[in-house]
Amino acid sequence: MVFIQCRDVAVAVAFAWACLCGIAAAQEFPARSIRIVTSEPGSGTDFVARMMASGMGTNLGRPVVVENRGGGILAVDAVLKAPADGYTMLLYGTSLWLAPFMRENAPYDPVVDFAPVTLAALSPNLLVVHPSLAVDNARELIALVKTKPGQYNYASGSTGSPTHLAAELFKSMAGVELLRIPFKGTGPAINALLGGQVHVMLVSSSSVMAHVKSGKLKALGVSSAQATALAPGLPTVAASGLPGFEASSFFGVFAPGRTPPQIVAKLNAEILRVLSRGDSRERMFNAGLEYVGDTPAEFAAIIKSEMTKWGRVIKSAGIREE
């Protein structure tokens, strides 16, 4: 009995000491430069990362640098191997937590190996068609495709890309047959849609809004849960024919998995301090992004929900990373 009591006291003391050390570390943080690892230069994540770095560097009085590692798993791997001390962050899209569903023996567990800091922004997709299709909303598109199963197609980027997954979700929920026409990137896919070689696409609003305004493409709905000022006057896909449909691209900030909660909270506060400013929101809006900014716990809950939702889509469609 004495042994159990002593052991319990020892555990309690160790826990208290760990908490005190974590609090002390958070109070001293940062003592040196911070790096934000992200994908290729010019991408949406790169844009947000540089905005964060500039503001955080000024506020913290420490250098905050952006390190571009290109696409694929390079950026993820760099943060996966980094010390869990808050001095390395990852700014990445939805593929971070969806890639393990699409590849054998994924080298990381998105829930264990990464600590959510905040969902920084999202980019809603637009459901767009070539103007030659005589449809004006999602309901009419679904009805048209059902009249000629397998004769209509959709354009997408690489396997597992947001454009691919969003279209597969649309097919599944609408119960329609659409043939996938894959391209090496979003740009070539949009060009094919503009040229009439393909019929349908779900793609970020920032990529196609100019073509919609010029009349070269027809937008049927926005994929976000609510209508957005990024696509003024356009209803949601859910409200225009496919109830419950939602497929936006998320830009999230992560720390290595064992980063102390106090440090994660500090990073969260500093990021939101920068991104919530009016000028930051305006810059993101002009780039086709909506500011989100939530707590680590709220972001973790979103990831859990997204993994459940998209995991089913990936499995049902048999999507495997190329």
- CA quadruple 164, 165, 166, 172: dihedral, nearest 10: 110
Evaluate whether residue 322 is within a structural domain: no
Q: Which amino acid is at 266?
A: K
Q: Could you give phi then psi for residue 243, rounded to 5 degrees? A: -55, 135
The set of residues, in sequence order, having a beta carbon less than 8 Å from that of 219 and lying 6+ positions away, is: 126, 127, 128, 208, 212, 231, 234
CA distance 28 to 51: 24
Evaluate whether residue 160 is within a structural domain: yes
Evaluate whether residue 28 is within a structural domain: yes
pLDDT at 322: 65
Q: What is the CATH number of the domain that holds 67?
A: 3.40.190.150
Residue 92 has pLDDT above 50, yes or no: yes
Percent of all residues in the chain with a pLDDT value above 70, rounded to a whole number: 91
pLDDT at 16: 43
> Residue 54, exposed/middle/buried by CB under 10 A (0-12, 13-18, 19+)?
middle
| Domain match, 119 and 259 both | yes
- Which of 309, 312, 288, 305 shows the shortest CA–CA distance to 125? 288
- Per residue in 176-212, pLDDT (tens digit) is 999 999 998 899 999 999 999 999 999 998 889 999 9
Q: How many domains does the chain have?
A: 2
Domain that holds residue 263: 2-123+249-317
| Domain match, 116 and 131 both | no
Evaluate whether residue 43 is within a structural domain: yes
Yes or no: say if 98 and 314 are a contact pair by the CB < 8 Å rule: yes
Torsional sign, CA 192, 225, 161, 283: positive
Per-residue pLDDT band at 264 (split at 50, 70, 90) = very high
Per-residue pLDDT band at 23 (split at 50, 70, 90) = low
| Domain match, 160 and 273 both | no
Yes or no: say if 186 and 233 are a contact pair by the CB < 8 Å rule: no
Q: E strands along the chain, which residues?
A: 34-38, 64-68, 88-92, 114-129, 153-156, 179-182, 200-204, 218-222, 248-256, 290-291
| Domain match, 238 and 263 both | no
Last residue of a domain, one of 247, 270, 305: 247
**Bridge partners, residue 236, by sequence:** 222
Per-residue pLDDT band at 294 (split at 50, 70, 90) = very high
Per-residue pLDDT band at 15 (split at 50, 70, 90) = very low
| Domain match, 117 and 263 both | yes
| Domain match, 155 and 253 both | no
| Domain match, 25 and 166 both | no
**Bridge partners, residue 290, by sequence:** 122
pLDDT at 24: 53
| Domain match, 6 and 119 both | yes
Last residue of a domain, one of 200, 228, 247: 247
Query: Quick one: average pLDDT of 284-310?
Result: 95
Q: What is the CATH number of the domain that holds 233?
A: 3.40.190.10
Residue 6 has pLDDT above 50, yes or no: no
Query: Mapping DSSP to helix (H, G, I), strand (E, B) and coil, where does residue 46 land?
Result: helix
- The pTM (predicted TM-score) of the whole model is 0.86
Last residue of a domain, one of 214, 247, 280: 247
| Domain match, 117 and 132 both | no
Residue 4 has pLDDT above 80, yes or no: no
pLDDT at 13: 44
| Domain match, 203 and 282 both | no
Query: Mapping DSSP to helix (H, G, I), strand (E, B) and coil, where does residue 84 land?
Result: coil
| Domain match, 119 and 257 both | yes
| Domain match, 175 and 206 both | yes
Yes or no: say if 303 and 110 are a contact pair by the CB < 8 Å rule: yes
Peptide bond just before 30 cis, omega within 30 deg: yes
